Amino acid sequence: MNLEQARTNMVEQQIRTWEVLDQDVLDLLYTVPREEFVPQAYRNLAFTDMEIPIGEGQRMWPPKMEARVLQELTVKKTDHVLEIGTGSGYMSALLAHRAAQVYSVELHPALAAIGRANIARHGVENVTLEIGDGARGYGKWGPYDIVLLTGSVPVLPGAILESLAPGGRAFAVVGDAPAMNARLITCTAPGAFRTVELFETVLAPLANCAQPSRFRF
């Protein structure tokens, strides 16, 4: 496989056509080699428009979603980011190239070890990775300028919103399959939030995520 041609095809045919036009984001996809964060058994699928299994029942997002979310979050060099669900460490590395500091929380110790090794191998030093459960919020290093949930939630926990600094942004896929929406929530003032619906998708849920109240008759 010609890796660079495959990477270019991914950018031009999948990512640009999904409204990702921020040149800094596109350039970053060449800087951080996605194929090196994919399990060896799936290395030849690193640039395809699909989710890739990474173990523990978890999957990497398709490339176009990774790039689109990075663009929507408008990450700045001063931002402190909370990532809930480290996975392979690829999104952590992308965020780290644009942010001041990334704090990543992974529930599965085996995945945390893989993510930590991948991140270290590429010389990324501004990621703090911890084994823990962030599905209902993780205020340890807050407040945050960005919170990114890598799995879906039926409802967005209030603790996630409360951990945002003024001007902070949260990305989450909210709802139940098959009707889920990707949302960008911005803290416009303490206790005040603006929500923008970005696109429809279906994403595996975060383990231990909060469930909505159900009426019982």
Residues 50-82 pLDDT 10s? 999 999 999 999 999 999 999 999 999 999 999
Hey, CA dihedral for 67, 72, 77, 80, is it positive or negative?
negative
The answer to whether residue 215 is domain-embedded is: no
- The mean pLDDT of the chain is 95
Rg (CA), the chain: 17
Query: Quick one: pLDDT band at residue 179, thresholds 50, 70, 90?
Result: confident
The dihedral built from the CA positions of residue 206, 72, 122 and 60, taken in this order, carries a sign that is: positive
- Which domain covers residue 62, as residue numbers? 3-201
Question: 10: closest CA among 39, 24, 30?
Answer: 30
CATH of the domain at 178: 3.40.50.150
Whether 143 maps to a domain, the answer reads: yes
Which two three-digit tokens encode residue 95? 């965020």
Specify the number of domains making up the chain: 1
Q: pTM of the full predicted structure?
A: 0.94
**Beta bridge pairs of residue 142:** none
Q: Is residue 206 part of a domain?
A: no
Name which of 86, 92, 191 is nearest 132 in CA terms. 86
